[in-house]
Chain A
Amino acid sequence: MAAAENKDDLPTAAPKKRGLDGQIDVSVSGRQRWLYGANTAILIIIVLAMVVCLDWLSVRFNYRKDLTTGGIYSLSPRTKKLLALVDHQKKRIYLVNLYPQGQPQGRSGITEFLQGRKVQQLIKEYSRNSSYVREFKTTHGRKALEEQIRSRFKGEFSPYKAAARQFTRLALQIKKFLAAEAAGWGRLAQQPGLTAQQQQVALSVQSVFNGSLPREIARTRRHAQKAMHSTLPDWPRVSKELSDTANMLASNLSALGKPDALEQSTNIQLGPAITAYLKGRTAAYHKEIALLRAYRQKITAIKPLRAGAILHELTPDSLLVMGPEKLKVLPGYSLFKPRSASLGQGPEYVFNGEQAVNSALLGMIQKHRTKVVFVSISPTNLISTGGPFSRIAAQLKRSNFKVFQWSPTPVNPQQGPAGPPPAMGKGVIWVVVELPPPGQESYLAGMINEQLESKVRQHLAQGGNALFLLGSMPEQLLMSFQGKLPFKGLLGGYGVRFRPTYSIVQRTQTSRHGYVAMPEVQVSTFPNTIIGRPLESLATLFAGQMMAPNQYLLAPTVVEPLAHLPKGTMAKVIVQTSAGVDTWGQPSGYTGPAVFQPGTDLPAPLPLAVMAQKGTTRVVAIGNVLFASNQILESGQPYVTGGQLGWVYNYPGNAELFVNAMYWLAHDSHLIAVSPRATVALRIARMGSSEETMVRLWSFIGPACLVIVAGFVVFLVRRRV
């Protein structure tokens, strides 16, 4: 503005001066130039300050709008509902980002840094959308956080503190007792009539009562007192020491409390004087022993510290969720799911933070945990360590489910029938593993017994929900059912049809056997359903067990909605194969050449999983027994990055789809894979390699060539004009 006002004073309008030669001098004097310069400098400073202020204000009070149709970069409406629930319950919840915030160290450090930034953004989004979810910030780093955690669990420490305090009192009493006893044994040693050996015994006991035992008590008492006055004591270690000392004292006293036993164990004749003394003191000894044992029992009964477990889990790449009553550490692997990558490449991570945080929040505001029962004809271990479904069971536990296992087959038939299921009916989900998993084929001989089916029917009739893991069956097994396929009628009632007579295969070229039909179908197309939609970018595999070329077990099979759904039912395909010519459904047991047979085979796309609902009962049927087994979930490959060996899973989509299905069955749809979220963008159509090359070539040089032609035309036209 100032410059604009000075416009009239600029050289053209400046007062005209006469120079020495009599000509008009239009130049600007040094003083004027200095004034103009200063004026301009001040103006620039003012404008710069205004720009800085505006930018600062825009950072401080920014408004952000996510315009993507699916709202990919903001919290999903489901999460917002959950946050509204948190706000409604007025529960203050803190989120703590433990990822390194400073300068990244090395290549792996950059990954951690970027992941930390993502976690930070997520925390910001949560606190923006809730009045009760806040970020916990501390300027004193991890130590302050540890103190905060300990202060939250201070109630847990009081039994330990009380035990330490009690020990100091007990120690005084015991020491007094030991001193009196030492004096007594000293007097005994000086009594006439004792043999030299008996005198030696009395003096030894006196020295124990006078020296080693009081020394041990004093040491333990010192440690207990130190712990009581310390800010961060290691209570489990201190309590163990207190317990050990009490035990040691009690065993020493109890040895003297039984003179006969002592005589036998030491092989020394104690003599009438010592025996009489000991017998006279037995009651006093027993009193002290009882006191020490009661004290020890009290220490053993103290519950282990939860704060300790939490502090142990706090790693530098995790997110801590602190609720009023509970704390949960979300480790890096639950926040970032690796996508498939080839050998030698670092993994790509899919951010799963929103789902993980939601799960933790739900655990804090919802006390009820849905029960999941894995049901199979095989009574052997399914879900514990070493079981074929242990990995998915662990993931379900992390997602706030309680997981059990049950089989109608008794482990030992001689011990009578199997017990009742641990849970069934309303609010319970059964995972029905139709065929015995690998390694437990011996149970195939027992067939899918009717007891299992009737129990599942009963469970569903009581309002329970179920997920079926179904598979194709070999011919001989099918024949044994005599046309009455297990679960066929049951699933038909929910509008679901499965065709175990067909195996879904994919033609693959191998170096040894040429073209082979493999029972392995990788899926990349998910119809638009609440369960499958979020899996847009995650690799998912449906696979059987290959025995020999064209021979396999437990192959994926067709599961589809019935053409005419029963009244009041809903059934939708959640997964289907792509429409490629290399995938088809062939009769189970077929061992001919790997070629699609138009008459007998089913053409792709083939449905692989269906979700169905009748009333409030929900059913999900997946056409693959091994879908959620460790065999697929653990399939992965190593990679080397930053000099470190890592492991990347090939098919992270399997576990995600399974957990999503469980959330849907549990009527907790607001938790279904909220992140990574689905976009409305459809995939680019698959095409032949020549067509693809053409499009790429056109994209690269086509438009540029058109511009060159246009330029040439303009040049010619202008030349003619």
Chain B
Amino acid sequence: MSRIMAVAGRELKSLFYSPVAYIVLVLYLLFVGLLFSMLVFIPGELANPQPMFAWNHLILIFIVPFITMSLLAEEYRSGRIEVLRTSPLAEMEIILGKFLGAMGFYCVVIASSVVFVLTLMAFGRPDFHPIFTSYMGLLLMGSMMVAIGVFFSALSEHQILAAMSTCVTLVTLGILVGFVRQLVPTSWFAATQIRHVLGYMAIEPHMANFARGVVDTQNIVYFLTGTCLFLFLTYVVLESRRWR
């Protein structure tokens, strides 16, 4: 565990030493600030931050690839991956360390939105339970997104390629699947089932439940299995480099 934490700490530190972290934070805060001032902060209306959390995935889809693009791709490019492999670290420890490092930074990003909750509290009294579940949802959603990012970072030596692939996958899961679902014609064989599957694959409805203050085991399982699946696939990719 200590070895995992060491990798994670190193990763987190390196993220904060690079300008990427600040660019990501500024982008995130600008977007959430816009959501807050346009949809949440309306004097005379309910002090309800739900829209701010429900639409968070739209910016996270583009931010997470920035966080994860260099995790393994940079190691490949610089050749440090060989050093890591010859160290006493197991592949899984490397992956988990990198994953936790990125998650640490992701937590800092989403924690920065607390400033809007505090602003809301200064002028109203929001219900805290949905806020708590929203952060829980953001954490779970983020873990899946970061796992996807780690996976694509493990696939390529080029950071931009890794970021683009992550972005395309997240846009597909976050936005496109929802649209495609509506386009499935009723005349198709098992159209309802196809729609259900596509609806389940989309990120938005799972996050929307958390943002509303509803905790459903189905949503938790979706994010957790997604995270585990992509971490496992990363492990397979890393491990396969030995014999490929």
Contact = CB atoms under 8 A, between A and B. Distances in A.
A667 B21 CA distance: 60
A267 interface: no
A696 B37 contact: yes
B236 A704 contact: no
Given A63-B216, A68-B212, A683-B45, A700 B124 contact: no
A684 B242 contact: no
Contacts, number: 179
B30 A701 contact: yes
Contacts of A73: 212-214
Contacts of A284: none
A388 B44 CA distance: 32
A537 interface: yes
Q: Is the interface of B mostly helix, strand, loop or mixed?
A: helix
14 contacts: A10-B242, A33-B243, A62-B216, A65-B215, A66-B214, A67-B130, A67-B213, A70-B127, A72-B213, A679-B127, A684-B124, A695-B123, A701-B30, A704-B29
Interface residues of A, number: 65
Given A684-B44, A700-B37, A702-B115, 10 more contacts: A36-B240, A36-B243, A48-B229, A57-B221, A67-B130, A103-B183, A682-B46, A683-B46, A684-B123, A714-B17
Given A62-B216, A711-B22, A681 B47 contact: yes
B208 to A, nearest CB: 11
B192 to A, nearest CB: 8
Interface of A: 3, 10-12, 28, 32-33, 36-37, 40, 43-44, 47-48, 51, 54-55, 57-59, 62-70, 72-73, 101-104, 524, 536-537, 679-687, 692, 695-704, 707-708, 710-711, 714-715, 718
Contacts of B36: 699-700
A32 B184 CA distance: 43
A3 B91 CA distance: 12
A68 B129 contact: yes
Contacts of A58: 217-218, 220-222
Nearest to B236: A40
Interface in B36-53: 36-37, 41-48
A104 B178 CA distance: 13
A699 B41 contact: yes
A682 B124 contact: yes
Contact of B43 (A48, A101, A692): A692
B19 interface: yes
Q: Is the interface of A mostly helix, strand, loop or mixed?
A: helix
Contacts of A682: 46-47, 124-125
Nearest to A69: B127
Interface of B: 16-17, 19, 21-22, 25-26, 29-30, 33-34, 36-37, 41-48, 112, 115-116, 119-120, 123-127, 129-130, 132-133, 182-186, 191-192, 200, 212-218, 220-222, 225, 228-229, 232-233, 236, 239-240, 242-244
Given A682-B47, A684-B124, A68 B213 contact: yes
Nearest to A712: B22
Contact of B236 (A3, A679, A708): A3
A249 B216 CA distance: 71
Contacts of B186: 102-103
B29 A684 contact: no
B124 A701 contact: no
Contacts of B244: 33
Contacts of B216: 62-65
B107 to A, nearest CB: 15
Contacts of B200: 55, 59
Contact of A59 (B17, B46, B218): B218
Nearest to A10: B242
Of A55, A524, A701, most buried by chain B (CB within 10 Å of CB) is: A55
Nearest to B185: A103
Contacts of B30: 700-701, 704
B22 A698 contact: no
B19 A687 contact: no
